[in-house]
């Protein structure tokens, strides 16, 4: 078998418009033994692709509008075409997924494709790009949601924030050149991992070791690539590597749990150069497990290339209760409700109850009891309506200086007695 042919089968999927553009960049490298596939919901975008396999995810007629730009619709379309995706992943050992997150196809299809690939037994690595800040909050929010779904399905996700590209360009760099740089960085990352598995050399990283490393952690990953030539290539390549925006001046390495290093050089690559490079990298990785491979390629004579992948362990499971209602399927919503009920019953058994400012509603009352209560309230209202203030017990005890005077009698009435008493009028 040729040294350039990998011992494992590799397939690269470009998903959506951005993913297909990155795939075209990789196609220029002509990686031996690698199958290229393009996936989209729009057949027109696949017409000019150089991929050997083109997959159009068609929608059901009843679904109506095109899913372009809508991650939820694109995900639903991918789930409808799940058998087609699984068939495309059968018999492949390593699958790379290339996509730009924030739009419709890349954000919605990639997690479903990753799940299909894993169910087929493949190691799944996703290389994705996040939106620029100028693209707006909506795309950024969609990209973050898609990234969480992808982390939950792929073995490893390597994310390149487009905003970091601004550190590599100047004010005169055009928009076309900017996206070309972005596509080139992601293509270099894929090529570096491919070289790690394909080339035989001084030190090899076995496929099983790579699977164990990524599947054990399944967290956030960053990558960086650098290349130098000449007599001082080992020093220059390290300067370029640590200046890479994705490593944040070496801070990323210090926070990583595992670091994968792939060195590629020509037959003139010396052990001293390998030692010098790894000594610098190990110095930055205080608590990380470092795994390195050194490959020999005749095309890299007098050159030295490094591809570095830093993996940070992360909690990739998305709690269903944290997802918006529209992100949960009916089955997930029922499972969440069941979990909440179980936790509530457990809290009652433990004698713990959450504090509440509100009084729970009264239990339902039988109809007969309600009628009895209504009759009682009616009688109370009638009794209350009959209650009036009685006559005050007022009587004249003394007339003062007129006590001995003769009473004033008119028509048989004593006018010295107040009128309300003579007429029997009660004071209310």
CATH of the domain at 193: 3.40.50.1440
pLDDT (0 to 100) of residue 362: 55
Mean pLDDT over the full length of the chain? 76
β-strand pairing of 258-265 with 53-56: unpaired
pLDDT tens column, 246-290: 787 778 888 888 888 888 888 888 889 988 999 989 888 878 888
Instruction: Tell whether 359 is covered by a domain.
Output: no
Structural domain count of the chain: 1
Taking residues 335-350, report their average pLDDT.
44
Is a pLDDT exceeding 80 seen at residue 77? yes
Q: What angle do CA 345, 346, 352 make, to 5 degrees?
A: 95
Q: Any idea of the CA torsion for 279, 282, 283, 284, to the nearest 10 degrees? A: 130
pLDDT (0 to 100) of residue 332: 46
Using CA atoms, how far apart are residues 112 and 325, in angstroms rounded to an integer? Answer: 19
pLDDT (0 to 100) of residue 7: 67
Using CA atoms, how far apart are residues 238 and 290, in angstroms rounded to an integer? Answer: 16
pLDDT (0 to 100) of residue 233: 93
pLDDT (0 to 100) of residue 318: 41
Instruction: Tell whether 161 is covered by a domain.
Output: yes
Instruction: Tell whether 189 is covered by a domain.
Output: yes
Residue 49 has which token pair? Answer: 């692709």
Share of the chain above pLDDT 70, in %: 71
Is pLDDT larger for residue 78 or for residue 167?
Answer: 78
Instruction: Tell whether 19 is covered by a domain.
Output: yes
Is pLDDT larger for residue 353 or for residue 268?
Answer: 268
Q: For residue 378, give Cα distances in angstroms to 164, 364, 373.
A: 77, 21, 9
pLDDT interval class at 335 (50, 70, 90): very low
pLDDT (0 to 100) of residue 308: 87
Instruction: Tell whether 304 is covered by a domain.
Output: no
CB 69 within 8 A of CB 107: no
Instruction: Tell whether 104 is covered by a domain.
Output: yes
Is pLDDT larger for residue 119 or for residue 310?
Answer: 119
Is pLDDT larger for residue 352 or for residue 292?
Answer: 292
Share of the chain above pLDDT 90, in %: 21
Taking residues 65-74, report their average pLDDT.
74
pLDDT (0 to 100) of residue 352: 46
Is a pLDDT exceeding 50 seen at residue 340? no
Q: Which domain holds residue 170?
A: 1-198
120-152 burial, b at 16+ Cβ within 10 Å, e below that, comes to bebbbbbbbbbbbeeeeeebbebbebbbbbbbe
pLDDT interval class at 112 (50, 70, 90): very high
Instruction: Tell whether 374 is covered by a domain.
Output: no
Task: Tell me how far the alpha carbon of residue 190 is from its chain's centroid.
Answer: 23
Taking residues 48-69, report their average pLDDT.
72
CA gyration radius, the chain: 40
Identify any residues that bridge with 260 across adjacent strands, giving them in sequence order.
291, 309
Using CA atoms, how far apart are residues 101 and 145, in angstroms rounded to an integer? Answer: 9
Is a pLDDT exceeding 50 seen at residue 331? no
Residue 349 has which token pair? Answer: 């058994």
Q: Residue 401 — φ and ψ, nearest 5°?
A: -70, -10
pLDDT (0 to 100) of residue 317: 42
DSSP-assigned states of every residue in 198-252? H--EEE---HHHHHHHHHHH--EEEEEEEEEESTTHHHHHHHHHHT-GGGGGGHH
Taking residues 14-27, report their average pLDDT.
91
pLDDT (0 to 100) of residue 327: 44
Using CA atoms, how far apart are residues 315 and 218, in angstroms rounded to an integer? Answer: 8
Is a pLDDT exceeding 50 seen at residue 347? no
Note the pTM of the prediction, 2 decimals: 0.66
pLDDT (0 to 100) of residue 179: 87
Taking residues 406-410, report their average pLDDT.
76
Taking residues 16-28, report their average pLDDT.
91
Is a pLDDT exceeding 90 seen at residue 20? yes
Instruction: Tell whether 74 is covered by a domain.
Output: yes
Task: Tell me how far the alpha carbon of residue 213 is from its chain's centroid.
Answer: 23
């Amino acid at each position: 078998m040729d040294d350039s042919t990998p011992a494992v089968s590799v397939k690269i999927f470009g998903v959506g418009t951005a993913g297909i553009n990155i795939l075209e960049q990789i196609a220029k490298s002509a990686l031996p033994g690698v199958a290229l596939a393009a996936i989209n919901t729009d057949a027109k975008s696949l017409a000019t692709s150089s991929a050997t396999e083109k997959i159009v995810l068609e929608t059901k007629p009843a679904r109506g509008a095109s899913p372009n730009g809508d991650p939820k619709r694109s995900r639903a379309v991918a789930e409808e075409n799940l058998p087609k995706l699984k068939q495309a992943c059968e018999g492949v050992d390593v699958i790379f997924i290339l996509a730009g997150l924030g739009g419709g196809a890349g954000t919605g299809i990639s997690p479903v494709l990753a799940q299909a690939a894993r169910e087929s037994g493949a190691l799944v690595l996703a290389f994705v790009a996040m939106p620029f800040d100028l693209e707006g909050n909506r795309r950024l929010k969609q990209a973050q949601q898609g990234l969480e779904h992808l982390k939950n399905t792929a073995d490893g996700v390597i994310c390149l924030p487009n905003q970091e590209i601004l550190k590599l360009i100047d004010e005169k760099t055009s928009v076309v050149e900017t996206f070309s740089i972005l596509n080139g960085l992601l293509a270099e990352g894929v090529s570096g991992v491919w070289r790690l598995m394909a080339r035989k050399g001084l030190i090899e990283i076995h496929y099983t070791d790579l699977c164990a490393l990524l599947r054990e952690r399944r967290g956030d990953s960053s990558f960086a690539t650098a290349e130098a030539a000449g007599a001082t290539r080992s020093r220059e390549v390290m300067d370029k590597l640590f200046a890479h925006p994705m490593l944040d001046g070496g801070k990323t390495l210090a926070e990583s749990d595992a670091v994968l290093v792939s060195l590629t050089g020509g037959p003139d690559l010396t052990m001293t150069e390998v030692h010098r490079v790894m000594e610098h990298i190990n110095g930055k990785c205080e608590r990380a497990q470092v795994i390195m491979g050194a490959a020999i390629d005749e095309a890299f004579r007098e050159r030295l290339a490094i591809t570095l992948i830093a993996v940070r362990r992360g909690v990739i499971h998305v709690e269903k209760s944290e997802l918006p209602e529209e992100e949960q399927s009916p089955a997930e919503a029922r499972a969440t409700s069941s979990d909440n009920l179980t936790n509530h019953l457990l809290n009652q058994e433990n004698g713990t109850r959450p504090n509440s400012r509100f009084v729970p509603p009264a239990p339902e009352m039988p109809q007969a009891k309600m009628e009895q209560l209504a009759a009682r309230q009616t009688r109370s209202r009638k009794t209350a309506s009959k209650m009036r203030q009685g006559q005050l017990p007022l009587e004249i005890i003394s007339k003062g200086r007129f006590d001995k005077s003769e009473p004033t009698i008119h028509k048989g009435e004593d006018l010295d007695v107040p009128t309300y008493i003579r007429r029997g009028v009660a004071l209310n």
